[in-house]
Chains A and B, each alone.
Chain A
């Protein structure tokens, strides 16, 4: 059974700081997704990571995938308040059957 674990689950940080969210998964997969969810809102796709060593960047967010270590990271650079949200990684166990991590609730304080 595929298990996906994120850490930390809660993260409170100051604007301007850098931090990393980690996503570990238990069985082999070549596809990993990162989503953002604002309170009471839907999930917004951030990144699709498809191969070992994949790195994607959008604004202050950068995601990477190490399939050998079964680890993905989401790095936040110089955080701003607008990035406050819950971030989920999701691992594809085949045919788009996604298993989500628990989510990391990120709060960025001015």
Chain B
């Protein structure tokens, strides 16, 4: 069991749908991350939140919209996605973005765009 919980585990959506991915951690971590991982590829960083503020956006298309309602929660709002957006979306957290501690990853949401 991981300490970072992601829901849903699987999501199938059409290109016109709006959906959200959720991530929760109760380790008191102040940095949270979204990654995208295509099959048989490494994770790619999308967003970094530090102390509930967006600190890094790795030039992600606006159809992905992150939100950090509080220090334990991280959402990723999805709208008008494309088939190439089908991937495993991983959430991670760490003590702080400046600390020398590893990131803890959730099990991911496997997203399929029809």
Contacts and interface: CB of A to CB of B under 8 A. Distances in A.
Closest 4 CB pairs of A and B: A100-B42, A45-B102, A43-B105, A96-B97
A101 to B, nearest CB: 6
A83 interface: no
Contacts of A96: 31, 33, 48, 94, 97-99, 103
B98 to A, nearest CB: 6
A31 interface: yes
Contact of B107 (A41, A50, A98): A41
Contacts of A103: 40-42
A25 interface: no
B31 to A, nearest CB: 6
Contacts of B33: 96
A31 B94 CA distance: 14
Among B44, B45, B106, max chain A CB count under 10 A is at B45
Interface of A: 31, 33, 35, 41-45, 48, 50, 88, 95-103
Interface of B: 2, 31, 33, 40-45, 48, 50, 55-56, 90, 92, 94, 97-108
A42 B108 contact: yes
Nearest to B99: A96
A59 B36 CA distance: 30
B43 A100 contact: yes
A43 B45 CA distance: 14
A62 B92 CA distance: 24
Contacts of A41: 107
B100 A48 contact: yes
A97 B48 contact: yes
B100 A31 contact: yes
23 contacts: A33-B102, A35-B102, A42-B105, A42-B106, A44-B105, A45-B102, A95-B56, A95-B97, A96-B31, A96-B33, A96-B94, A96-B97, A96-B98, A96-B99, A96-B103, A97-B56, A98-B43, A98-B103, A100-B44, A101-B42, A103-B40, A103-B41, A103-B42
